Amino acid sequence: MAALLALSLGVMAGCSTAGTKDNGGGAATKQTGSSTEKAGSDSAKHEPVTLKYTLWGSPQEKKAMEDATKKFTEKYPWITVNAIHIPEADYDAKITAMVAANEAPDAGYIHGELGEAWQKEDKFINFNDMFAQDKDVKKSDFLDYIWFNGTKPNYTWGISGAGETFALFYNKDLFKTAGVEAPPTKADNAWTWDQFVDTAKKLTLDKNGKNAADPAFDPNNIKQFGVSFENWYGPVMAHVFNNGGDIVSEDGKTFALDKPEAVEAIQRLADLINVHHVAPNPVQAKSIPSQAVALQSKLAAMTMHGQWINLDLGAAKVNYGIGVLPKMKRSVAMGISGANVMFKSTKHPQETWMLTKFLADPAGAIDLYKGGLWMPTLKKWYTDPSLVSQWAENNPAHPEGFKDAFMNNLLNNNVPAPVYYMQNFGKISSMAFTALDPVWMGKQTAAQTMKDIAPKIQPEIQGKYQK
């Protein structure tokens, strides 16, 4: 699923159907048509330009991006976009080779770890410089957490491709069969952790049909788990934040996953597997292709995962709903996404910026928003009812609970994932979360594991990036 975290650049086009909220469909079509006609008449005034845009993603994402870049060329006929799809497993090697050969793309996706290294080498255009020159769009038009800032002052090298966060997906049919109530959709009403565990027990069944609350339950022969989750940094940190913890201290000087708030959150997740027997351990999880499949095939009644699986659940017509994550000390929406950049080596910075702005408008690739893969980065696509209705209503990928648990929660109740603010995050997160493998298998406590790894990680702490 990490592949789905890196999405198209979230910058506003400023001249699309998104700007026609007071007009009917005919008026919007007329405005788009006249803009295209004007662009066509202006094309003779410009030298032809070809831009390279690199991306990874599913076949559906690839097609949608190709369609979006074709729409861009229709609007600006003198600009051709070569959308280069690279399998994610090969992406870093390919993009590194392109840069080394002086054939870097003009813009595209990038993994955070590679982006963090390259921003130190000044390889990216500063978004703040482009905003300063643009009269159509402001940085404040966007969700506030989405910027990747660098080591230099006032240097924003990347932007989130989409608004993404985590919530609690559930299979409505299994809830109905078990006779349990659906999870709350608003953070203020979130289940307590104990309420969540009790519900998960009622939804966990062994081969004899007994649930995990029954003294006769057989934890060695489970046919349906109450909940499923992945143990990479995203889902784990979402719960650490809900318990008031973090991966680094507020001043950016000290590793913090060994602190009580973080340790307690991690242990509670591990206890779902090894104490309460309501979630699969990593070995059992290998037989589950994805969290969406877990819900669809009724291997799990709930999954705590990212909003991008709405794409698969909606396409499969699963009868599902969405609630907020259970709270520990609080319930917040951890914003997360991959980075998208503009390369400083481009020979066409203005045209690259034009493409970047165009791709931000969900109207340019509306199927990926409506289909459930992406959420917008522009605030007005969360607040303007005429825009919200274009992607988040009346479709199978945005079921009951979506607006409150995902859309409104991310807009009004977000905290940034550490990838946005922690220096050397890639190395630190790899060390910390790999060390947790024995915890998920019940062989070691979270407290002992983090105590053991903290002295090894502390020398890698380099501080926080400026906002």
**Count of domains for the chain:** 2
The enclosing domain of 225 has a CATH number of: 3.40.190.10
For residue 250, the model assigns a pLDDT of 96
**Side-chain half-sphere exposure of 90, counting CA atoms within 13 A:** 8
pTM: 0.87
Specify if 412 maps to a domain: no
Is residue 402 one of the residues assigned to a domain? no
Q: Write the pLDDT tens digit of every residue in 375-408.
A: 999 999 999 999 999 999 999 999 989 999 999 9
Q: pLDDT tens, 393-452?
A: 999 999 989 999 999 999 999 999 999 999 999 999 999 999 999 999 999 999 999 999
pLDDT for res 463: 96
Q: Are residues 182 and 79 in the same domain?
A: no
Q: Domain check: are 183 and 160 in the same one?
A: no
Q: Are both 427 and 347 inside the same structural domain? A: no
The confidence band for 302, taking pLDDT boundaries of 50, 70 and 90, is very high
The model's confidence at residue 27, banded by pLDDT at 50, 70 and 90, is: very low
Residues 199 and 151 placed together within one structural domain of the fold: no
Whether 396 is in a domain gets the answer no
Q: Are residues 158 and 172 in the same domain?
A: no
Please report whether residue 395 resides in a domain: no
How high is the pLDDT of residue 262?
99
Residue-wise pLDDT for 37-58, tens only, equals: 455 556 668 899 999 999 998 8
Same-domain check for residues 66 and 208? no
Residues 207 and 141 in one domain: no
Pair 276, 324 in one domain: yes
pLDDT in tens, 259-284: 999 999 999 999 999 999 999 999 99
Structural domain boundaries, residue 181:
166-335+423-460
Q: What percent of the chain shows pLDDT beyond 70?
A: 91
Domain annotation covers residue 145: yes
- Any domain includes 101: yes
Q: Are residues 201 and 259 in the same domain?
A: yes
Do 428 and 438 lie in one domain? The reply is yes
Q: Please tell me whether residues 138 and 180 are part of one structural domain.
A: no
Residue 404 counted as domain residue: no
For the cut 50, the answer to whether the pLDDT of residue 341 exceeds it is yes
The pLDDT mean for the chain works out to: 90
Give pLDDT, residue 43: 63
